Amino acid sequence: NPDKSSAAIAYVYRGTFVHSTQQTALQVQEDALLGVDTEGKIAFIGEGKKLEALSQVFQFSPSEVTQLTEHEFLMPGLVDTHIHACQYSYAGTALDLPLLQWLNTYTFPVESRFKDLEFARRVYTHVVKRTLTNGTTTACYFASIHTDATLLLGQIANDFGQRALVGKVCMDRNDSVKHYRESIQESHDETCRFIKEFLDKKYPLAKPVVTPRFALSCSRELLEQLGKIAKNNNLHIQSHISENKEEIQLVKELFPESESYTDVYHKYNLLTDKTVMAHGCHLSDKELAVFKETGASLSHCPNSNFSLCSGVLNVRNVLKHKVKLGLGTDVAGGYSSSMLDAVRRTLDASKILTIQDPKHETLSFEEVFRLATLGGSQALSLDDQTGNFEVGKDFDALRVNVAAPGGPIDLIHSEGPKTLLEKFLNLGDDRNIVEVFVAGKKVVPFTEPKAE
Ligand code: GUN
Ligand code: FE
């Protein structure tokens, strides 16, 4: 019983669609029809055999329907809930130090270079293009402390058509790279300018995010001010929490009045239902309960957690606490900008926990598929717009060809849709992602936006 859509149909796909719902980690629809309207929203989903009736109700020509091949399917776009756009330049290197030493040695010196807008443009263009071709339709970005370069990241994501949350990093404490920090006043004023100028652009798919780097790089006053800015403007918030043990110990020493790391952020109103915190490897059950209570979510970044030897997040336990959770690449602590890698590392992390304790209930690939799509959209509070193929949501999708010529997968037998998805998640890469859509617009393959 299809919903009536007010906008006209722009195009219709016929074939296999896979997505997740709250109830079902993997729902497969074979020989189905999916119509996208001129506003980029999913207008209807129905059975292929009802083509005639649907074409009359929604007024499209059955001859214009695009038929997927037997090795193809549509799936929702991948949601990267945590990625540092400005660290992309050194992704794949500098993985030999633990977090705090890694920040001081590699990260801060590189991030300080983003004062240079031309350098920023080069790196940000690459990261947006690379993540889009890898199927990331929504990305939640950390930039650097530089307002203008961060505004540029928003513009580049918008120009390429990626859905994006974009944060100007705030930090008024940095004892190792002293030129890479702000005063409290500067951080406050530049955050306000960033938000104002970003919102003035009226990008349809990009939003600004209040971004205290993490407790160790922010004074109490700054945390308090950022909590107020987020609240007064009803904005998203992102930061890091409980990533490695040394960090947690230092937070304890710097904020002795707080009961826990979670308590530091909670105290300054930084845990809301629009907050996403990266890592959370070592959170206690009590802290997870605060996440549940406040509606704040976690971004699981397993490549980074392994690469910097930070910890192994027990996703099963997070899910048992009913805390919203998505996956993140955490470039460049994580060396891969592909969400397919995040899916694989999430499965690895879960299996490591099962090796350590056979009673641990290993995550299934279907569950991890949900975390990479619907889970991410929920973690970013964007699930009213994206995350699965519900009628009325924006059409954010990948057209996957598991048997793409020259691609990494050899199909020996003809396989069912569930197996095709499993093979793609475990073995696929961008060669299998033949089209990417965000809000109905085809963004891959892309044409370079014209220079201004
Ligand atoms: N904690 C504070 N800053 C960072 C960062 O840039 N990367 C990671 N992985 N953790 C952090
Ligand atoms: Fe990070």
Q: pLDDT by residue (tens digit) across 233-248?
A: 999 999 999 999 999 9
Answer yes or no: is the C-beta of 236 below 6 A from any ligand 1 atom: no
User: What confidence category does residue 447 fall into, taking pLDDT thresholds of 50, 70 and 90?
Assistant: confident
**Torsion angle defined by CA atoms of residues 54, 60, 63 and 64, in that order, rounded to the nearest 10 degrees:** -120
The torsion angles phi and psi of 246, rounded to 5 degrees, stand at -65, -40
Q: Cα–Cα distance between 121 and 48 in angstroms, integer?
A: 45
Torsion-angle region of residue 177: left (phi > 0), alpha (psi -120 to 50) or beta? beta
- Going by CA atoms, what residue is nearest to atom 9 of ligand 1? 333
- Alpha-carbon distances of 130 from 138, 338, 430, 446, rounded to whole Å: 13, 8, 9, 11
Residue 154 near residue 198 (C-beta atoms within 8 A): yes
Q: pLDDT by residue (tens digit) across 378-422?
A: 999 999 999 999 999 999 999 999 999 999 999 999 999 999 999
- The answer on pLDDT for 132 being more than 80 is yes
Beta bridge partners of 33: 14, 46
Q: Which ligand is nearest to the CA of 278?
A: 2
Answer yes or no: is the C-beta of 139 below 6 A from any ligand 1 atom: no
Segment holding 249, helix H or strand E: helix 245-254
**Which atom of ligand 1 lies closest to the CA of 111?**
6
Answer yes or no: is the C-beta of 103 below 6 A from any ligand 1 atom: yes
Q: Read off the DSSP letter of residue 216.
A: G
- Going by CA atoms, what residue is nearest to atom 8 of ligand 1? 333
Residue 380 near residue 138 (C-beta atoms within 8 A): yes
Answer yes or no: is the C-beta of 84 below 6 A from any ligand 1 atom: yes
ipTM of the modeled complex: 0.99
Answer yes or no: is the C-beta of 304 below 6 A from any ligand 1 atom: yes
Q: Cα–Cα distance between 192 and 291 in angstroms, integer?
A: 26
| Substitution site in 87, 213, 250 for ligand 1 pocket (most atoms within 8 Å of beta carbon) | 213
Segment holding 165, helix H or strand E: strand 163-170
Answer yes or no: is the C-beta of 102 below 6 A from any ligand 1 atom: no
Q: For residue 34, how far is its CA from the centre of ligand 2 (angstroms)?
A: 36
Segment holding 82, helix H or strand E: strand 78-84
Q: Is the pTM of this model over 0.90?
A: yes
Amino acid at 123: V
Protein residues with C-beta less than 5 angstroms from the ion ligand 2 = 278, 330
Compute the mean pLDDT over every residue in the chain, rounded to the nearest whole number. 97
Q: Cα–Cα distance between 207 and 236 in angstroms, integer?
A: 8
